[in-house]
Amino acid sequence: MKIRIGIMGYGNLGRGIECAIKQNDDMELAAVFTRRDPETVKIMTEGVRVYRAEEAASMKDDIDVMILCGGSATDLPSQTPEYVKYFNVIDSFDTHAKIPEHFAAVDAAAKASGKIGIISVGWDPGMFSLNRLYANAILPDGRDYTFWGKGVSQGHSDAIRRIDGVVDARQYTVPVESALEAVRSGSNPELSTREKHTRECYVVAAEGADKARIENEIKTMPNYFADYDTTVHFISAEELKANHSGIPHGGFVIRCGKTGANGENDHIIEYSLKLDSNPEFTSSVLIAYARAAYRLNKEGVSGGKTVFDIAPAYLTAQSGEELRKHLL
């Protein structure tokens, strides 16, 4: 019997989950839930229905793991503790500062229901967090560096779009190559915000808009751009669509550490991602952890979990024997 996956929310992430399920023979899409009118939501998988979000609880016996594809700001803080009453759930909650309280709420509800809720799954938080943990455990005398990009930041793109006279915009976060090289050299550099990343903006201005003012408003925007070297390119709507409609991302987690009787030996651990589609890669991570949630819950495990709590073997459909033979 296949693992029956439910998708709550059918945006970029939900569509990514649907694609990822097709790559995993031990899984099947059971249902998609939406807050929109289900009649208006067209999915790719034949024979699978779209339901109203309110119908989910009544389908608790039809779904093994519900993947919550809502946003961290307003959806997940209420959705994850709610749906873990009925299902094993996975979310990609990424508001770092609020992880402790989100975890506490999910853990309490999951313990009460006997289900598993794995929060903050994806690549950061997620795979990057795992790599920080492994590298810290191995090299306690060391220093962490995380770089993001080159990739599209949705939040920064939105911030530009709110400026008067801007029709559309796309913002790329770009790691500074010389900073990366300094870190890789083992020189343990102290790097300011400005030295680590630059910001590249592609902006479609309204006809007759004052481009100099727009550029200035972008470059001086507090929190978003003021602390960075920012480049602004004005382009046409057609160019934006043709060259900037993808959602690539990626980044680097690097730890430099010392070992030896007198710390005389340097070591560099580096993990990097180069992703054509941020939401599809995130979906692929979510699906692997959905398998783990299902298997662990079958073994009687319940409660709130993060990627730190899951033994890697649970992520794959292969047996321990196969893994030891082929991947160890």
**Which CA distances in Å does 88 have to 23, 51, 56, 231?**
21, 19, 13, 44
> Within 26-93, where are the H helices?
76-83
Minimum distance from residue 267 beta carbon to a copy of itself (Å): 5
Nearest to 291 by CA among 121, 51, 70, 76: 121
- DSSP classification of residue 66: E
Minimum distance from residue 257 beta carbon to a copy of itself (Å): 8
Minimum distance from residue 103 beta carbon to a copy of itself (Å): 6
**Which CA distances in Å does 234 have to 167, 197, 209, 210?**
11, 21, 11, 11
Shorter beta-carbon distance to a copy of itself: residue 219 or 267: 267
Nearest to 251 by CA among 129, 142, 133: 129
* Structure tokens belonging to residue 178: 């010389």
CA distance 24 to 155: 32
Shorter beta-carbon distance to a copy of itself: residue 1 or 97: 97
Shorter beta-carbon distance to a copy of itself: residue 44 or 226: 44
CA distance 225 to 232: 11
Applying CB under 8 A, the residues found at the interface with a copy of itself are 16, 19-20, 23-24, 44, 96, 99-100, 103, 120, 125, 127, 129-134, 136-141, 184, 259-261, 264-277, 280-281, 283-285, 288, 291, 306-313, 315-316, 320-321, 323-325, 327-328
Minimum distance from residue 258 beta carbon to a copy of itself (Å): 9
**Which CA distances in Å does 82 have to 39, 78, 118, 260?**
25, 6, 13, 50
Shorter beta-carbon distance to a copy of itself: residue 154 or 231: 154
CA distance 189 to 139: 17
CA distance 24 to 275: 20
Shorter beta-carbon distance to a copy of itself: residue 160 or 254: 254
Shorter beta-carbon distance to a copy of itself: residue 140 or 216: 140
Minimum distance from residue 271 beta carbon to a copy of itself (Å): 5
Minimum distance from residue 268 beta carbon to a copy of itself (Å): 4
Minimum distance from residue 53 beta carbon to a copy of itself (Å): 24
